Amino acid sequence: REARPPALVERGTRKEREAFVANAVQQVPEDGRGILGGDLGTLIEGPLRAHIAFRLREWLPDLVSLGIGFQDALGRAEGLVLMETSSPFSNAAVRYARKAGVRVTVLQHGVIAEAFSYRLLNADRVAAWGELDAEWFRRELAPHVRVEATGSPRHDRLAGAGTGGAPSPDLPRDRPVVLFASQPFVQGAPVRSPWERAAILAMVLDAARRAEGCRIVVKWHPSETAERLPSPEDDALARSLHRANTLDLLRIATAVLAVSSTVGLEAMYLGRPVVFLGPPDLEGSFHPPEDGGGLRARTADELVVHLAGLVRDAGMRSRVLEGQRAYLGRAYAPLDGHASERVTALLRRG
């Protein structure tokens, strides 16, 4: 028999919940009429509205159970820590926390500060990666929100990881590896960003055909579907990886290519020169080359020149790494392995 997860509520309360859900589901008509008010009710019609109604009926039991779980757990909690507050479940957790008088802290985790989810932040405190992101949070959020540049606990794993002892991904090592960190969209503003995914990939593959003395590895983002490279020639010059560990790849990389992926930031922390691809999004805050960190390549020709210099010219490589270190010192918390301790201290200060 499969082990069943523990019930969130006692049997009597569970029966009441089931009765509530059954009644609520009956109130959601199959065609979805009446469930969307205001302008949405006139804009969303037909199959889409019916699909929303289906999802409501499907999710109601889980939402009710989570609500009971939130109410029970947060009644005993001193604080709530989340990565964001815009998703339905985290938004529900925040609502229950407010009801219980529990302080909400958001820990900046896997994306830059200006990502859409952070524009909707509902928190009392924010633990930011560094001063660059902290300034954005202070500017965009309500004055009462306390923001501290603690650094990210997820980056603590990078401390001391830049040299030696790395597992070796299954890659030919006959030439230096250049890692391209793909991404499904630019995190800060997918609509207004000048970045276009297919054009960037074409630039990378064009450079792979012409850049001598290196092999480009395309590491797809976990939320992307791994693509086959367009031709056998491309496969000989570049490798496409989806499940490989990004940290392992960074350890063996001679250089790293990125658009606005935070893999570029991690590469700089590990002392790998980074080339950022495409025109900068100057309306955002994350454009390291324009602030002294890394290089910028807008075309395949520029990328080929940069790669040749980083692979063959020790002086150029040294200058790029020096600029990246200075940029990190101005914009981000130090990579000292103590970000988790700084976040813990923030939580304990109440």
- Does residue 69 carry a pLDDT above 90? no
- Does residue 35 carry a pLDDT above 60? no
pLDDT for res 16: 66
Grade residue 41 by pLDDT with cuts at 50, 70 and 90: very low
Strand residue runs (E) in 112-267: 125-128, 146-149, 177-181, 215-219, 238-241, 253-258
Task: Express each pLDDT in 302-350 by its tens digit.
Answer: 999 999 999 999 999 999 999 999 999 999 999 999 999 999 999 998 6
Output the CA torsion sign for 314, 287, 110, 97.
positive
pTM listed for this prediction:
0.76
Grade residue 213 by pLDDT with cuts at 50, 70 and 90: confident
Please state which of the ranges 34-48, 65-79, 303-317, 335-349 shows the lowest mean pLDDT: 34-48
Q: What percent of the chain has pLDDT over 90?
A: 39
- Does residue 163 carry a pLDDT above 60? no
Amino acid identity for residue 116 in this structure? F
Mean pLDDT of the chain: 80
pLDDT for res 208: 87
Q: At what angle do helices 300-312 and 314-331 cross, to 10 degrees?
A: 100
Q: Give which of 277, 90, 287, 278 is closest to 188, Cα–Cα.
A: 287
How far is 302 from 203, CA to CA, in rounded Å? 10
Is 216 within 8 Å of 207 (Cβ atoms)?
Answer: yes
CA distances from 23 to 26, 36, 66, 92, 314 (A): 5, 18, 18, 21, 71
